[in-house]
Amino acid sequence: MPVFYGTEIASPLMLGTAQYRSPTILAEAFRASAAGIATVSLRREAGGGQAFLRLIEALGVRLLPNTAGCHSVKEAVTTAQMARELLGTDWIKLEVIGHADLLSPDVFALVEAARELTGQGFKVFPYCTEDLSVCERLLAAGCQVLMPWGAPIGSGLGLNNPHGLKALRATFPDVPLVIDAGIGLPSHAAAAMELGFDAILLNTAVAKAGDPVMMACAMAQAAEAGKAAHRADPMEPREMATPSTPVIGKAFLS
């Protein structure tokens, strides 16, 4: 099971709380997913009031507030401070958006905000790219978890750069890594876990599915299957065929 900042989480699946058609569907999807962490935007919590907060608390999972929608260091830091005061946790998923259409991270502002927040005692989960130099700077800033994107938020494209993500896993073998954003199908979730990532975070793929509860269950099963496959040490792909039945002992007729 993944361990973040010394806390073991019961599931490799982390689930967002936005865009569900009803609170009932949200709760049922969480139960089906067995997710160990729920992410929540401070803006979403403020819009739903205490009723929404009670719903999230009733899920019985660890809460990870995020700074979704922030475009500057000051805005992200202020939002994190408000989240800690309101929700009573020093965990924060740090988002600093740099491009309005792609919702890609502003990696320069991200490192600066991460350094400031870790200095204030926050346990930062940075939404970042798979760029090795950026990730090195985030770790140097005090982050103990990295959350590279698979693809743009809400795109459902899966893993756009599997080779880069594989290199990231190899470069930081002891750092908890979470694929954040872009997961659209259970096969994407399995692929991420097969690369050796510790967890995946998704929202839209479940919330916007025709049957969110069924999709939540499928994502959970895929994540577990991918994790098991990675631990099984799978075969390396080959360019040429290799017979599964040996020719030794084969009868030859003249």
- Is residue 74 part of the annotated active site? The answer reads no
Please list the alpha-helical segments (H only) found in the chain: 23-33, 42-58, 73-87, 107-119, 132-140, 162-171, 186-194, 204-207, 212-231
69, 78 in Cβ contact below 8 A? no
Helix (H) or strand (E) segment spanning residue 174: none
- d(C-alpha 221, C-alpha 190), whole Å: 9
Q: Cβ of 214: how many Cβ atoms within 10 Å?
A: 13
C-alpha distances out from residue 215 to 18, 111, 124, 225, Å: 15, 34, 29, 15
Q: Which amino acid is at 92?
A: I
Catalytic member of 93, 166, 208, 250? 93
Which candidate, 182, 220, 222, 221, places its Cα nearest to that of 202? 182
> Hey, what are 144's tokens?
């103990």
Residue 105 to residues 19, 69, 153, Cα–Cα distance (Å)? 21, 11, 10
SS3 57: helix
Instruction: Give the catalytic positions in this structure.
Output: 93
